[in-house]
């Protein structure tokens, strides 16, 4: 017997789980649509030329590659010293941002000038599976391309804030920082420009290993201890103060023109969103770094006192589309961590009851002719009722046990007499109450139930 488990790090979503996943996705979609975001879907496979070099060396390692087939494979295998690169030219989608950049480069003229898109699709990463970390998982992204206006940042942040609110997440904040500000801190601290990447990677771990841990890591990676300390002083500036105070403190600390412009951006963004859903959530966090290298402006991350790690993040990336088209197209986006959101909603009991099963199961008594029963089921369904039909000739007790197992609220019991009189026995399982109803009565009583 072969194994019937799904592959390692991947999951079968049984009906109850699908229902929860859809609940979250549909809430997010509904809100994205209210903000004017349009849906996009891209293929599961991308050319490796599209994917490679976009996610750093580690990302390239984690890509799933599609093995060549037929003649192409045979030619590759006939070579001496065949390598990975000879065996594949396609890979699986690794995130939703690079495909968006490719799409904007490819269809630029067919898309709205300001392209606001949302995309909810799975991605694949050959990471070591762990609790909450899967090899196939969904991302849920909103992005705006085509404008450098901070209104785009505001739209993205407000939409995400509405989703968090709508799903029931309280105690969340959105940490916000600016890549240019980070670069200025690095410069002011006296690091060499080529140490920027190293510094960002280390700072990104502030919430995990703390100030001392990052200090040690910076020194280990060849950054002088005094410079490291200076840099860390900037990133933890004005803990506990409000955004206005932090802006002021950073203005004093970072006199560079570039830093002052980045601080103007953040100041403007706080003003723009002052009356909007993200206002109470935004928290200027000078130590926020974000791992990905392609960010160029404001960066964001959802944090909460209720859990470690993040529920999502994003930022401005004005150069990524240009890597595909040669033409700069500014962009800003946010990616929600759907898997983590689902996990937390389960833990915190944030899901409402999600009825999924039918409202009624028709239970024909043994010896009942079935054609009129199937006919009745069809008419009730066409009237909008979710109807299950017990498929076998079986004793009523056994049928009612199935109704109970499936959590179906009503059983409709039909024998030959009921068929002759066109009056049927509707039994409410929880209360045990029964009533006789004709078809119209059934439709009236049952079609008012909410659809799932």
Contact 107, 101 (CB under 8 A): no
Using CB under 8 A, which residues numbered 134 to 193 contact its own copies? 136, 144, 147, 149, 151-152, 154-155, 158, 162
Q: For residue 422, state whether it binds its own copies (rule: CB under 8 A).
A: no
Q: Which is nearer to its own copies, 5 or 212 (CB)?
A: 5
Tell how far CA 79 is from the center of its chain.
42
Give the pair of three-digit tokens for residue 227.
Answer: 């410079």
Q: CA 443 to CA 450: how far, in whole Å?
A: 13
Considering only residues 185 through 244, tell me which ones interact with its own copies, judged by CB under 8 A: none
- Residue 122 touches its own copies, criterion: CB under 8 A: yes
Please, are residues 191 and 208 in contact by the beta-carbon 8 Å criterion? no
Which of 90, 182, 228, 329 contacts its own copies by CB under 8 A? 90
The least distance separating its own copies from the CB of residue 431, rounded to whole angstroms, comes to 22
Task: Give the separation between CA 194 and CA 197, rounded to whole angstroms.
Answer: 7
DSSP 75-133: HHHHSTT--HHHHEEEEE---SHHHHHHHHHHHGGGS-SSEEEEEEEEEE--PPPBTTB
Residues numbered 329-388 forming contacts with its own copies, rule: CB under 8 A: 356-358, 361, 370-372, 374-375, 377-378, 381-382, 384-388
- Return the number of the residue (128 or 194) whose C-beta is nearest its own copies: 128
Half-sphere exposure of 156 (CA within 13 A, CB side): 35
Cβ–Cβ under 8 Å, residues 299 and 157? no
Instruction: Give the footprint of its own copies on residues 286-305 (CB under 8 A).
Output: none
Nearest CB to its own copies, comparing residues 193 and 450: 450
Give me the least distance between CB of 70 and its own copies, in Å please.
Answer: 8
Among the residue ranges 6-14, 188-196, 229-237, 249-257, the one whose residues contact its own copies (CB under 8 A): 6-14
258 binds its own copies (CB under 8 A): no
State the Cα–Cα distance between residues 214 and 201, nearest whole angstrom: 10
Considering only the stretches 7-15, 193-201, 212-220, 243-251, report the one whose residues sit in contact with its own copies under the rule CB under 8 A.
Answer: 7-15
Q: Does 87 bind its own copies (CB under 8 A)?
A: yes
Q: Per rule CB under 8 A, is residue 324 in the interface with its own copies?
A: yes
- Answer for the pair 289, 177: CB distance below 8 angstroms, yes or no: yes
Judged by CB under 8 A, the number of residues near its own copies is 114
Closest CA to 283 of 336, 337, 241, 340: 241
Instruction: Reduce the DSSP state of residue 393 to 3 states and report it.
Output: coil
The least CB distance from residue 414 to its own copies, in Å, is 13
CB of 402 to its own copies, least distance (A): 7
Q: Which stretch binds its own copies (CB under 8 A): 258-266, 289-297, 320-328, 346-354?
A: 320-328
Query: Taking CB under 8 A as the rule, does residue 14 contact its own copies?
Result: yes
Q: Which is nearer to its own copies, 14 or 305 (CB)?
A: 14
CB of 302 to its own copies, least distance (A): 18
Answer yes or no whether residue 61 interacts with its own copies by CB under 8 A. yes
CA dist 186 → 108, 143, 207, 233 (Å): 36, 28, 19, 11
Task: Specify the residue, 7 or 448, whose C-beta has the smaller distance to its own copies.
Answer: 7
Q: Which of 84/440 has CB closer to its own copies?
A: 84
**d(Cα 289, Cα 179) in Å, to the nearest integer?**
7
The DSSP bridge partners found for residue 115 are 145
């Amino acid at each position: 017997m072969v194994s019937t488990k799904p592959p390692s790090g991947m999951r079968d979503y049984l009906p109850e789980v699908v229902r929860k996943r859809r609940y979250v996705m549909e809430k997010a979609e509904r809100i994205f649509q209210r903000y004017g975001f349009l849906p996009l879907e891209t293929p599961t496979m991308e050319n490796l030329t599209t994917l490679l070099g976009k996610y750093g060396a580690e990302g390239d390692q984690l890509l799933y590659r599609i093995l060549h087939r037929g003649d192409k494979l045979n030619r590759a295998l006939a070579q001496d010293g065949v390598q990975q690169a000879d065996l594949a030219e396609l890979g699986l989608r690794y995130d939703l941002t690079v495909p968006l950049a490719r799409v904007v480069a490819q269809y630029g003229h067919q898309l709205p000038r300001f392209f606001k898109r949302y995309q909810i699709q799975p991605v694949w990463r050959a990471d070591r599976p762990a609790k909450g970390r899967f090899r196939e998982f969904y991302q849920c992204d909103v992005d705006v391309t085509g404008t450098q206006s901070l209104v785009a940042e505001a739209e993205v942040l407000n939409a995400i804030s509405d989703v968090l609110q709508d799903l029931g997440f309280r105690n969340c904040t959105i940490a916000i920082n600016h890549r240019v500000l980070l670069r200025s801190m690095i410069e002011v601290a006296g690091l060499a420009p080529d140490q920027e990447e190293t510094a960002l990677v280390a700072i990104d771990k502030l919430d995990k290993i703390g100030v001392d841990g990052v200090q040690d890591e910076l020194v280990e990676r060849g950054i002088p201890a005094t410079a490291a300390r200076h840099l860390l002083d900037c990133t933890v500036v004005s803990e506990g103060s409000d955004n206005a105070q932090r802006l002021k403190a950073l203005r004093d600390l970072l006199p560079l023109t570039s830093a002052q412009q980045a601080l103007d951006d953040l100041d403007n963004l706080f003003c723009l969103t002052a009356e909007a859903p993200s206002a109470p959530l935004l928290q200027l966090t000078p130590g926020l770094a974000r791992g990905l290298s392609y960010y160029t402006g404001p960066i964001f991350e959802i944090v909460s006192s209720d859990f470690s790690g993040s529920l999502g993040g994003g930022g401005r990336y004005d150069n990524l589309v240009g890597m595909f088209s040669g033409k700069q197209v500014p962009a800003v986006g946010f990616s929600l961590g759907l898997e983590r959101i689902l996990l937390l909603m389960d833990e915190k009991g944030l899901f409402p009851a999600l009825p999924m099963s039918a409202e009624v199961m028709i239970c024909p008594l043994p010896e009942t002719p079935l054609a009129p029963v199937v006919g009745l089921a069809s008419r009730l369904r066409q009237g909008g009722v979710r109807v299950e039909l017990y498929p076998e000739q079986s004793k009523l007790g056994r049928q009612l046990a199935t109704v109970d197992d499936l959590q179906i609220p009503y059983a409709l019991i039909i024998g030959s007499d009921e068929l002759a009189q066109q009056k049927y026995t509707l039994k409410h399982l929880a209360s045990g109450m029964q009533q006789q109803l004709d078809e119209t009565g059934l439709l009236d009583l049952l079609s008012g139930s909410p659809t799932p």
